[in-house]
Amino acid sequence: MPSTILIVDDSRTVRTMVRQALEADHHQVIEATDGVAALAALDMGPADLVITDVNMPEMDGLKLVRALRDRPGYRFTPILVLTTESGDEIKQRGREAGATGWLVKPFNPDQLRKTVEHVSRRRQP
């Protein structure tokens, strides 16, 4: 089912690649360059799913995940972390922050789409 997906990454190139992958499944994609911009974007309108990088200026991805989990309406929203970081320790920090899943770049667009579909289906209010 098409959703509104917020992609948060400081690289315009990466945002474009993610957008292209998700728009193929007719999702509506909105973009933000870091955590602060992401929270501002969500003030303008809700998202059904968030995909965020980790290393970004202003507010990094893990702080964004924590901020979102503190927001009414985002406690159960799927949040996927899409990053070059692959260490177990940082993945565990992502899990503790409240991330739903962790995808290591470079990403396979088909796998990204399947993961988005999977976590969207299992969302529980």
Partner 1 sequence: MSPLAGGRLQPAAAPVAPEKEVTIYIGGVHVSPGPAVIKTLLGSCISVCLFDPIRRVGGMNHFMLPRGAGSSGADADATRFGVHAMDCLIGDMMKLGADRRRLVAKFFGGAHVLNMKESAAAVPQQNIAFIREFLKGEGFPILAEDVGGYHPRHVRFYSHTARAMVKRVDGPHARARLLSQEDHRSAQVPSFGDVTLFDQ
Give the range of 24-32, 38-46, 104-112 binding partner 1 by CB under 8 A: 104-112
DSSP state of 122: T
Question: Shortest gap between Cβ of 1 and partner 1 (angstroms)?
Answer: 19
- Rank residues 44 and 89 by Cβ distance to partner 1 and give the closer one: 89
For residue 106, how far is the Cα from the chain centroid?
A: 15
Give the contacts of 117 (CB within 8 A, at least 6 positions apart). Answer: 25
Q: Exactly one of 55, 70, 71, 73 binds partner 1 (CB under 8 A); which one?
A: 55
For residue 67, how far is the Cα from the chain centroid?
A: 13
In our burial notation (b when 16+ CB lie closer than 10 A, e otherwise), range 32-64 reads bbbbbbbbebbeeeebbbbbbbbebeebbbbbb
- Rank residues 4 and 86 by Cβ distance to partner 1 and give the closer one: 86
7 binds partner 1 (CB under 8 A): no
Q: Exactly one of 57, 70, 71, 73 binds partner 1 (CB under 8 A); which one?
A: 57
Binding residues for partner 1, rule: CB under 8 A, are 10-14, 17, 54-57, 83-86, 91, 94-95, 99-109, 111, 115, 118-119, 124
